[in-house]
């Protein structure tokens, strides 16, 4: 597997952000990793930093810089059990055994859409988001090594379990998460591998898309469908470096211009 480095003609200054952590609100997808549980990926290219009971939203500009939206941070509800980046720019809040979805209206105000309330089943060990290119509200939950998928049916106005998509986790892996579009990423032996779901319900390991990860990584974070962020130590702080899977060329592309620096 080759890795292609994208080189830009512009000299780009890195964007650094202070990331003092909230003691009560975390990204549930990264709850197992203290280095990264304050980082959230709501979708639409947004990167969220959980700090002081708010999610501060950053976006990548056409000038190849990260900018913060100081006007519309997400105010985290006081009583919550954690957050999820739900895709398409939305945020999920888990509280009292249920998932509540918040979206921005046309004026940028965050509002709860009660249609998407989901009573969570008992006994799950981990919950994470399955981002789709053009659809909202897919989640997955692990039950003792078995991952079950749930989606919101717009016509029925109900959450339904996808009975054809159950995934059994391989033994001995370090971590797992969704790469979006019904693709599961696993981390093991300092490598990232992918499983794809076929239409007939079978999961296949994609041997051509194995990615060698940096040995000093602190976390691997799902960002958008087909894009991950790898957290590494950087001088006296930390850096997020973004990798995108280019299926057309069978390469993982390092998007060096997107480097995001954390104090």
3-state helix, strand, coil in the chain (%, to 5): 5, 55, 40
The answer to whether 84 and 33 are in contact (CB under 8 A) is no
CATH number at residue 82: 2.115.10
pTM value is 0.89
**3 domain residue, yes or no:** no
For 242-256, the DSSP string reads EEEEEGGGTEEEEEE
Instruction: Report percent pLDDT > 90 for the chain.
Output: 81
d(CA 48, CA 126): 20
Residue 1, in any domain of the structure: no
Residue 48, domain member (yes or no): yes
CA distance linking residue 56 with residue 44, whole number of Å? 15
- In the block, tokens 């990860």 appear at 213
Q: Flag whether 177 is in a domain.
A: yes
Q: Rounded to whole angstroms, what are the CA distances from 41 to 131, 180, 255?
A: 10, 12, 17
Q: In 3D, which of 179, 178, 167 has the Cα closest to residue 252?
A: 179
Residue 208 confidence (pLDDT): 94
Q: Can you list the pairs that 212-215 forms with residues at least 24 positions away whose Cβ atoms lie under 8 Å?
A: 212/1, 212/3, 213/187, 215/190
Look at the chain and report how many structural domains it folds into: 1
pLDDT of 138 above 50: yes
Query: For residue range 173-190, what is the model confidence (pLDDT) as tens digits?
Result: 999 999 998 999 999 999
Q: Cβ–Cβ contacts within 10 Å for residue 86, how many? A: 26
On the question of pLDDT at 3 being above 60, the answer is: no
Q: Which residues form the domain of 78?
A: 12-262
Instruction: Classify residue 6: in a domain, yes or no.
Output: no
Q: What is the pLDDT of residues 141-154, one digit of tens each?
A: 999 999 999 999 99
Distances (CA, A) of 196 to 15, 116, 181, 203, 209: 34, 27, 9, 5, 11
Q: Is residue 4 part of a domain?
A: no
User: Would 158 be classed as within a structural domain?
Assistant: yes
Kindly report the average pLDDT of the chain as a whole number: 90
Question: Band of the pLDDT at 24, cuts 50, 70, 90?
Answer: low
What pLDDT score does 200 carry? 79
Residues 6+ apart with CB under 8 A from 11: none
Q: Is residue 5 part of a domain?
A: no
User: How far apart (Å, rounded) are the C-alpha atoms in residues 159 and 15?
Assistant: 39
- Give the pLDDT of residue 219: 98
> Is pLDDT of 212 > 90?
yes
Contact assessment for residue 241 and residue 232, using Cβ atoms and an 8 Å cutoff: yes
- The burial class, CB within 10 Å (0-12 / 13-18 / 19+), for 211 is buried
Q: Mean pLDDT check: name the lowest of 7-11, 30-34, 215-219.
A: 7-11
Q: What pLDDT score does 20 carry?
A: 46
Assess contact for 33 and 219: CB atoms under 8 A.
yes
Write down the pLDDT at residue 133. Answer: 82
Distance of alpha carbon 240 from alpha carbon 34, whole angstroms: 15
Q: What pLDDT score was predicted for residue 7? A: 29
What average pLDDT does range 123-137 have in this prediction? 89
């Amino acid at each position: 597997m080759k890795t292609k480095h994208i080189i830009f003609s512009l000299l780009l200054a890195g964007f650094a952000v202070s990331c003092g952590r909230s003691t009560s609100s975390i990204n549930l997808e990264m709850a197992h990793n203290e280095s990264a549980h304050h980082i959230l990926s709501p979708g639409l290219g947004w990167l969220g930093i959980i700090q002081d009971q708010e999610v501060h939203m950053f976006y990548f500009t056409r000038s190849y810089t990260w900018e913060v939206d100081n006007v519309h941070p997400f105010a985290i509800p006081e009583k919550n059990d954690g957050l999820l980046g739900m895709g398409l720019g939305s945020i999920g809040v888990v509280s009292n055994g249920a998932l509540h979805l918040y979206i921005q209206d046309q004026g940028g105000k965050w509002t709860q859409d009660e249609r998407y309330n989901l009573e969570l089943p008992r006994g799950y060990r981990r919950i994470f988001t399955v981002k789709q290119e053009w659809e909202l509200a897919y989640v997955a939950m692990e039950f003792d090594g078995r991952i079950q998928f749930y989606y919101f049916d717009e016509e029925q106005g109900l959450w339904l379990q996808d009975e054809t998509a159950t995934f059994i986790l391989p033994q001995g892996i370090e971590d797992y998460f969704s790469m979006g579009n019904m693709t599961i990423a696993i981390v093991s032996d300092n490598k990232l591998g992918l499983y794809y779901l076929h239409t007939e319900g079978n999961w296949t390991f994609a041997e051509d898309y194995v990615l060698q990860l940096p040995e000093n990584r602190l976390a691997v974070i799902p960002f958008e469908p087909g894009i991950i962020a790898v957290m590494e130590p950087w001088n006296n702080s930390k850096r997020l470096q973004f990798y995108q899977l280019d299926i057309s060329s069978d390469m993982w592309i390092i998007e060096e211009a997107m480097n995001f620096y954390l104090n």
